[in-house]
Amino acid sequence: MTGPIRHSDGNGQPSPSRRTVLRGAAAVTLATAATTAAGAGTASAAGAGPSPAVVDHPGAQWLPADPANYRTARRPRSHPIDYVVVHVTQEHFDDAVAVFQNPGRRTSAHYLVRSADGHIGQCVREKDIAWHAGDPGYDDHSIGITHEGWVNSTAWFTEEMYASSAALTAAVCARHAIPLDRTHILGHHEVSSATHTDPGANWDWDHYLELVRMARTKR
């Protein structure tokens, strides 16, 4: 993400275990909000935004970013999709959703993956251009996937999150004919003009790519 990165000094960083209880309550709140949005969706879908009930990834929860935080497009017709860019939120899942839904933040990602259980939220449709890479050359041509956690703590990078994200990346790559390699599946830090360090040295790229390829084989 480009906006909400707050590099933690480690002191104020909450522990994942303590969050488990809180997360349950937050998830219920989000689920309730999503249900409400879907129920009221016909009217809001009449505008430029997508239908709240529609996601590109089966099973993803539609948690729409504010339209001020991405650009509507007609990809891949308008812009070929060639890359997946991997991020870490430096925020809790629900706080990252709030950032994407705040029109003042001018940032978003297509997908947000929760640490504890790998739950996937979709915030921007794949046809639209999320602002996550900080570089139009990559934003225009990529899908941004951000992961709940902090770059300096391996505890957030759970196996559930790796597996769920890998299945998502495999599906995205299948949809858009993106090769499963590190030339096309990039970290935010590898985007040429990026000033961000995520997903950081604790992100296990070898393991992630292995899971992506396994997920692709299973499809």
Point out which residues bind Zn ion (CB under 5 A): 1, 87, 188, 196, 198
Of 138 and 162, CB closest to Zn ion: 138
How many beta carbons lie within 10 A of that of residue 201, not counting itself?
11
Q: Which is nearer to Zn ion, 1 or 130 (CB)?
A: 1
To 10 degrees, what angle do helices 205-218 and 159-176 make? 60
Cβ distance to Zn ion smaller for residue 205 or 214: 205
Rounded to whole angstroms, how far apart are CA atoms 146 and 59? 17
Nearest distance, CB of residue 87 and Zn ion, angstroms: 3
Query: Are the CB atoms for 18 and 158 separated by under 8 Å?
Result: no
CB of 7 to Zn ion, least distance (A): 12
Whole-angstrom CA distances from 67 to 48, 55, 125 are 9, 16, 11
Closest to Zn ion by CB, 89 vs 164, is 89
- List CB contacts of 20: < 8 A, sequence separation 6 or more: 116
Q: Between 176 and 196, whose beta carbon lies closer to Zn ion?
A: 196
- Cα-trace Rg, the chain: 16
Could you give the angle at which helices 16-39 and 93-100 cross, rounded to 10 degrees?
A: 40
In the bound complex, what is the minimum distance in angstroms from residue 167's beta carbon to Zn ion? 21
Closest approach, Cβ 198 to Zn ion, in A, equals 4
CB of 201 to Zn ion, least distance (A): 14
